[in-house]
Structure 1
């Protein structure tokens, strides 16, 4: 008896949910019509064609394009920094900028001072 009442209640709620979803879709359609009419009115006022709108949708937003161009300019003007530290066995180098590489941090943890990896001025 519980199973039948569960199934009937479930089907009743599903039907009710379907009705509510249809009402939501209807309400959204009613809200969209005035917006579409305003857009069409603006397009006519400013003589904008649907092709122009489609082209605007296909390209990247202007705000992203402006942000990307200074980054490109900054990377193009970066200078190469000479290495300051060298691992004696692997010959791996580090400029001394940014996060220290693992071979430096491991050596420091083992008690070797960072200065022992300095590259001599005459060999650089």
Structure 2
């Protein structure tokens, strides 16, 4: 067979697979609707605005499932901005909150004999 002929056959097969899947889905949906009607339910009632507990009960297997092995991670609370505690005496625009690594100007100031209390805002 030539490459072109193989590609055409492949396209036909893919089209047939897609059609067969759609047909099977339609048949499955018809079965679900029929079972819901026999039980006195509207399908929208079963699938539509359901609560989390109902969805869990519908999707859970008949047998009791084993408890989940992993725990949910706690989400750290977002912290807001902290007001600065220290101001550079040489440049009043440079400030530091006192958290994290000391800025270079703070280290230099302390190395020159200054104290944090003297630059506290």
TM-score for both structures, normalised by structure 2: 0.40
Higher relative helix content: 1
TM-score for both structures, normalised by structure 1: 0.40
